[in-house]
């Protein structure tokens, strides 16, 4: 390591140590709405970790999306190596909740430690994993350094690196390049991701595809969504337009554009990306003058007062039900793509046979977006208003929408197999 890199990591570590009180305060503040953030706080610093026999696979999936994607890899590893044990770590409460569902006897779960030298050393000394698997973009300077010192091979799985992130990494190369060089291998989603990862310093990169294609929507959720759709249809013959994984700022755009549409309008389903924003979005909908019903207010079947033509908006304020929402919708808009945020998982919509309207920003899923467009499973619009108009045109053309449904399903099925390829590569380290 050069003196510049050593100095950069020293400065980074010092800032983290000084910022520890702010970090704790932020976790405690987030715990107001998501109590999980206040659970096992000492694990964030490498203390109070669960007991685990050395030699497990340590898999880190920071949040909900990465944990869902990891499910296919976990199953592929269990199929390939029966009896394999996992240490699951996460950074968010939703990720930890989703990760709990992946556990089997012998597995343990913890928070990922804050990236201070002492915390990551304590974590690795206590857990002694055979291999560390980081999902998608999770590269941490002190963690990588500690893993190298303790001879823990580190794999970046389902790896992606956008042009924008690559430029940020270049500006911080003294800090980030040694971390990238400490990876044993990156299993990249696309050839473009692989090229950028090599340029960032990763010594070995393989292109294996995107795990999200391997996720099979739960049949029970698809059936439930179709049941709800039938109920909406029987109550008023209205199509359902979903806007999924919305981010702060997009709902305001959506509601302003929605108010301009002539009646009768479809039933609008809004599914915010982050659960801590559910109440804020509900207030926003009602302040805009729309009649609202919330998914959280019913158990299995929407009540009669949620189905009438006087109801304008459903709020999808639940976790783990995206397959229900996409199966319910006739057409969906992709949240995170109407602001410069890069979009969210568009493959999930395709797997559920839901045609998708995308905004201009899809750099997080650049190749998948282009493939979906080429397959006819999606369309792109320059802004929210244009996307709504295009979605309504799709709804008004049943034959075109039906072809898009079929194209979406075929697109999702055509690119599966990444989980098995990643499991084979990771097994080499066990």
pLDDT at 62: 92
Q: Does 340 map to a domain?
A: yes
pTM summary value: 0.84
Which residues make Cβ contacts (< 8 Å) with residue 153, sequence separation at least 6?
131, 132, 147, 184, 429
Length of the chain, please? 430
Q: Do residue 177 and residue 278 come from a single domain?
A: no
Structural domain including 346 reads: 219-409
The predicted structure's pLDDT at residue 1 = 61
- Region 336-343: what's the mean pLDDT? 95
End of a domain among 209, 230, 257?
209
Question: Would the pLDDT of 102 be above 70?
Answer: yes
pLDDT in tens, 173-219: 888 999 999 999 999 999 999 999 999 999 999 999 999 999 889 99
**pLDDT recorded at residue 7:** 87
How sure is the predictor about 236, in pLDDT bands with cuts at 50, 70 and 90? confident
CATH code of residue 377: 3.40.50.2000
Residue in 66, 136, 138, 321 annotated catalytic: 66
Asked whether residue 199 falls in the same domain as residue 235, the answer is no
Output the pLDDT for position 170.
86
Give percent of the chain with pLDDT exceeding 70. 100
**Averaged over 133-158, what is the pLDDT?**
95
Q: For residue range 7-58, what is the model confidence (pLDDT) as tens digits?
A: 888 899 999 999 999 999 999 999 988 899 999 999 999 999 998 999 999 9
Residues 124 and 76 in one domain: yes
User: Which of 209, 237, 261 is the endpoint of a domain?
Assistant: 209
* Average pLDDT score over residue span 105-116: 95
Whether 426 maps to a domain, the answer reads no
Per-residue pLDDT, averaged over 226-238, amounts to: 91
Residue 10 placed within a domain: no
Confidence at residue 5, expressed as pLDDT on a 0 to 100 scale: 82
Let me know whether 247 and 382 are in one domain.
yes
* CATH number of 106's domain: 3.40.50.11720
Mean pLDDT of all residues in the chain?
94
163 carries an active-site annotation: no
User: What pLDDT sits at residue 413?
Assistant: 92
Answer whether 37's CB lies under 8 Å from 27's CB: yes
Say if residue 393 is in the same domain as residue 330.
Answer: yes
Flag whether pLDDT at 328 surpasses 70.
Answer: yes
């Amino acid at each position: 390591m050069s003196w510049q890199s050593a100095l950069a990591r020293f400065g980074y570590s010092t800032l983290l140590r000084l910022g520890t009180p702010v970090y704790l305060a932020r976790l405690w503040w987030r715990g107001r709405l998501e109590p999980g953030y206040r659970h096992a706080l000492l694990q964030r610093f490498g203390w109070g970790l669960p007991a685990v026999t050395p030699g497990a696979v340590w898999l880190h999936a920071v949040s909900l999306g990465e944990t869902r994607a990891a499910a296919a890899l976990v199953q592929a590893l269990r199929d390939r190596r029966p009896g394999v044990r996992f240490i699951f770590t996460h950074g968010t409460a939703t990720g930890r909740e989703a990760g709990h569902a992946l556990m089997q006897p012998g597995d343990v779960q913890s928070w990922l430690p804050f990236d201070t030298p002492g915390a990551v050393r304590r974590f690795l000394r206590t857990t002694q994993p055979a291999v560390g698997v980081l999902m998608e973009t999770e590269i941490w300077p002190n963690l990588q350094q500690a893993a190298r010192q303790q001879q823990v091979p580190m794999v970046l799985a389902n790896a992606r690196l956008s042009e924008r992130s690559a430029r940020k990494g270049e500006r911080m190369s003294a800090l980030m390049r040694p971390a990238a060089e400490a990876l044993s291998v990156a299993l990249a989603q696309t050839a473009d991701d692989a090229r950028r990862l090599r340029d960032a310093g990763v010594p070995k990169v393989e292109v294996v595809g995107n795990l999200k294609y391997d996720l099979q929507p739960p049949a029970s959720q698809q059936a439930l969504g179709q049941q709800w759709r039938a109920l909406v249809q029987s109550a008023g013959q209205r199509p359902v337009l979903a806007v999924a994984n919305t981010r702060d700022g997009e709902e305001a755009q959506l509601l302003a554009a929605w108010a301009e549409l002539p009646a009768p309008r479809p039933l609008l389903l809004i599914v915010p990306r982050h659960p801590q924003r559910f109440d804020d979005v509900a207030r926003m909908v009602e302040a805009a003058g729309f009649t609202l019903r919330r998914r959280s207010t019913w158990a299995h079947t929407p009540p009669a007062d949620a189905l009438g033509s006087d109801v304008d908006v459903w709020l999808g304020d639940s976790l783990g039900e995206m397959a229900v929402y996409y199966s319910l919708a006739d057409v969906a808009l992709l949240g995170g793509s109407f602001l410069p945020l890069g979009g969210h998982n568009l493959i999930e919509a395709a797997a559920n046979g839901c045609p998708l309207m995308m905004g201009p920003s899809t750099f997080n899923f650049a190749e998948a977006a282009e493939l979906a467009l080429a397959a006819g499973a999606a369309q792109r619009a320059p802004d929210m208003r244009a996307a709504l108009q295009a979605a309504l045109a799709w709804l008004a053309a049943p034959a075109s929408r039906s072809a898009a449904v079929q194209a979406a399903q075929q697109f999702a099925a055509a690119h599966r197999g990444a989980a098995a390829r990643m499991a084979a590569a990771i097994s080499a380290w066990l």
